[in-house]
Amino acid sequence: MDEEKVEKLMPEMMQKLPEPDRRVLDKSELRRLFIEDSRESFRQGTKGPTYECRLYVQPWGFRLEYITFDKIYLWQGELDVNVPVSVGRAMAEAIPNCKAKFYPSDAHLSTLFNHMKEIMEALLS
């Protein structure tokens, strides 16, 4: 995808996002990272992104209850329109030892950017 084209389409794409995610992408440096990441995901064609989409709707071949790690973390914004919060809550309930945190004022992108320090501290502890 041509970077100029993507940049022109961003305002239209952003209108479909919840307000917390729009605020993230309003920051030019984060918008640039988002565009670069999106372009990279399609650099070798659509096969990879298509495969990823299929993963969302097919059985994974294992039950979440069988995950046996000592620590599993899940962070999700309750305003997420990409992954319904009900899915996140069901996963958190099903996975043993899952430490889940849901943020009422965040969405899909804003959760990571607004809580990066907290998330990194948990992962590095």
Give the tens place of pLDDT for each residue, 3-50.
777 778 888 888 899 999 999 998 878 888 888 888 888 888 889 889
Cα separation, 13 vs 107, whole angstroms: 15
Domain boundaries, the chain: 3-124
pLDDT tens-digit series, residues 57-69: 899 899 999 999 9
Contacts of 68 (CB under 8 A, 6+ apart): 96
Residues 45, 47, 51, CA angle at the centre, nearest 5°?
145
- Token digits of residue 80: 């997420």
Q: What is the pTM of this model?
A: 0.83
Q: Which residues pair with 100 in a beta bridge?
A: 74
